[in-house]
Structure 1
Amino acid sequence: MPDFDAEFRDRFRQLLRWRRDVRHFKNDPLPDGLLEQLLADACLAPSVGLSEPWRFVIVEDAARRQAVIDDFRHANADALAAQAQSGRGSDYARLKLAGLVEAPVHLAVFAETDPEQGHGLGRRTMPETVLYSAAMSIFTLWLSARAHGVGLGWVSILDPDTVTALLDVPAGWRLVGYLCLGYPATEEGRPELEREGWEHRRPPEAHWLRR
C-alpha cells in the first residue's frame, strides 16, 4: 500500500476545500485524452456489489446541447417564480446557476437501475444504492477534475425525463447528474452561493450525532 503521509493528507484536504461547483467557464477545450482519463478515474469509485452502474453520455451534438439549455431556462424560470413566492426572488435572480453555454464539455451521468453486473448483491433491501454508486462516480470525477485544474458544475435545474428522452438512452437508465466541465474562468476558495450570501456552511460538528 502506498504511504499516504501527513503531507499527502494535507494536500488532499486542500483538494476537498478547492473542489468547487463551477458555473463560470472559459471556452478553451480540454486537451486530447483528458476527458477519457477523468472518466477512467471516475470508474474507480465504489459501487454496491461491484455493480459499476454508472453510465456516461458525452453530449456533443449541438442540437441536443441547445435543447438541454432550453430545458434549463424553462426549469429555472419555474424555480424563480417559486422563490419569488417565498420572498427570495431577487436573490435567486442574480445567481448564475449553470455554465451550460460556456462549458466545452457536457456530460450526463446515468445509473443503470438493475444492472446484471454484481448479481444484485447489496440491493435487495436498498435498490437505490445503484443511484448512490453513480453519485460516488460523480464525486470521484469531481476530485480528479479539480486535481487536473478542471472545473465541474452539477446542473440539477432540469427536468430529468426531458433530458433522458433528449439523449435517447437505453430503457432502465436513470439520470443522476448533468455536468459541465471546463477550465474555470476564476479560481475561488469559497462556494459561490456563500460568496453571494445565499447560504453558509455549517461547522462539521453540526452534522453528526452520537447514539
Structure 2
Amino acid sequence: MSTTDKPNLPDLRVSYDQGELDEHSAPADPVELFTHWIKDALAHKLPEPNAMSLATNGLDGTPTVRTVLLKGIDERGFHFYTNYESRKGHEIAADARASACFLWTDRHHQVCMKGKISKLDRADAEQYFASRPYGHQIGAWVSDQSVVIPGREWLEQRDAEMKSKFPEGQVPCPPHWGGYTLLPDEIEFWQGRVSRLHDRIRYRKENGMWVKVRLSP
C-alpha cells in the first residue's frame, strides 16, 4: 500500500459537544442511566443501538472480543443469545468473568461494564427463539459456530437441509443454543466533552450497594 492510499488516521478528530454528565445528578442506579441512554440512542435512530462488544478470556489466556446484541435487561443482568458450542461459549464455561462495551458514536456516549456471565433459563431461550424470524431460527441449526468449514457451499447445503427438515412455524430451539446474562459489578459511563475533558462516571458494587465516583478523562 502506497503512502497516498493509507488513511490519515492521526488527523481524524471529532469535537464532542453533545452534552454533559454530572456525578451529583446522575441516578443512584446505573441501570436507570443505561436505560435512559439506550432509549436516547433509539430516539435518534442510531443503527443497532443494542450492539455490544463482549470480551471474554480465551482458553489460551489471551482476551477475545466480538459483537453480540443485547436482548434484555432485568435484575439478572444484561441478556444475549448465542451458540453454547461457539468459541465464546467455551470461554464463558471456562471463565465466567467478562466485559462489555456499548458505543453510541453520534451521541458521544460510551458505556463499559464488567462482571460475571451465567446461563439464562431454558424457558427464556425458547421464548426468545420462538420470536425470531424463520431464517434466523434455521440459521441457529445450520451453523456450527466457530468451527472451520470447507466453504460457503457447505452453509447453503445445510440451510437447504434444515429448511426441508423444519417447515416455517415448526422450528424447535436447538439444544446447543440459548441465553446468557452478564451481571455487572462495575459500570462506567463516558460522555464526550470539548477539548477531550470528558465526563467519566464509574459505578461499582460495594457491599451490595452501587457507589459512584468521577474519574479523570
- TM-score range, shorter-chain basis? 0.3 to 0.5
More helix by share: 1
Q: TM-score under structure 2 normalisation?
A: 0.33
Larger radius of gyration: 2
More strand by share: 2
* Structure with bigger RCO (C-alpha 8 Å, 6+ apart): 1
